[in-house]
Amino acid sequence: AKPVIVAIDGPSGTGKSSTSKAVAAQLGLSYLDTGAQYRAITWWMVNNDVDLADPTAVAAVAGKPEIVSGTDPAHPTITVDGVDVAGPIRTQEVTSKVSAVSAVPEVRARITELQRSLAAAAEHGIVVEGRDIGTTVLPDADLKIFLTASPEARAARRSGELRNADVHATREALIKRDAADSSRKTSPLAKADDAVEVDTTELTLAQVIECVVTLVEGKR
Ligand code: C5P
């Protein structure tokens, strides 16, 4: 089969990561979590006391950290300057700060370049998940999926993941982050015109995976 490029976009809590990883594993494709890359650069900025309220300061150091993503869906990895940051990038601190960093054009240019070179290097093809993959990073992807779900479903899934009983606070934080990601000037969260929209509110993870696998197989 020819290498197939799949872009999966959507807001948080729609099952993007679980779906993308499973689809890639099932079809023998590589996998890239682009949110992890934005989290990694944010983690580095926090650790280096960069003033995140100052986009000029963020832009000035956007090229400094070396971010390396491992693209095996069975074992995705992410390092910054050789340090494994898979755990630290999931803290609430990084989650609450990532939208400010990812809105800076110099950060996006840098990370987008990494994403394109990883996609080009994937021998059997790749599933790339994020917010702007279908619109900006890989506009020529063979298949574009846009996952959605009701805010309630998304908050419930995220709370479950975090083992956090406070669904309300999770819902508020999530809505705030989506609003920031959707309203930024440079490549905001958006559905590409040629993306297939899948509303996952009433679907199980297994059903979403099956739906996407079928769509990918139709493209091979
Ligand atoms: O997917 P995840 O929730 O880990 O993404 C973290 C953040 O990274 C998003 O809230 C967004 O600010 C940023 N992001 C982005 N573009 C992408 C993927 C993620 O701006 N393609």
For the CA of 89, the nearest atom of ligand 1: 4
CA-to-CA distance for 62 and 77, rounded, in angstroms?
Answer: 21
Ligand 1: which residue has its CA nearest to atom 11? 99
* Domains parsed from the chain with CATH numbers: 4-217 (3.40.50.300)
The predicted pLDDT at position 14 comes to: 94
Residue 61 binned pLDDT confidence (cut-offs 50, 70, 90): very high
Ligand 1: which residue has its CA nearest to atom 19? 35
ipTM field: 0.99
The predicted pLDDT at position 162 comes to: 62
The predicted pLDDT at position 165 comes to: 61
| Interval 70-104: pLDDT, tens | 999 999 999 999 999 999 999 999 999 999 999 99
Ligand 1: which residue has its CA nearest to atom 14? 35
Burial of 46 (0-12, 13-18, 19+ CB in 10 A): middle
Q: Which of 14, 20, 34, 92 to mutate to test the pocket of ligand 1 (most atoms within 8 A of CB)?
A: 34
Ligand 1: does its nearest atom lie under 6 Å from the Cβ of 34?
yes
| Interval 94-145: pLDDT, tens | 999 999 999 999 999 999 999 999 999 999 999 999 999 999 999 999 999 9
Q: What is the pTM for the complete model shown?
A: 0.96
CA-to-CA distance for 96 and 113, rounded, in angstroms?
Answer: 24
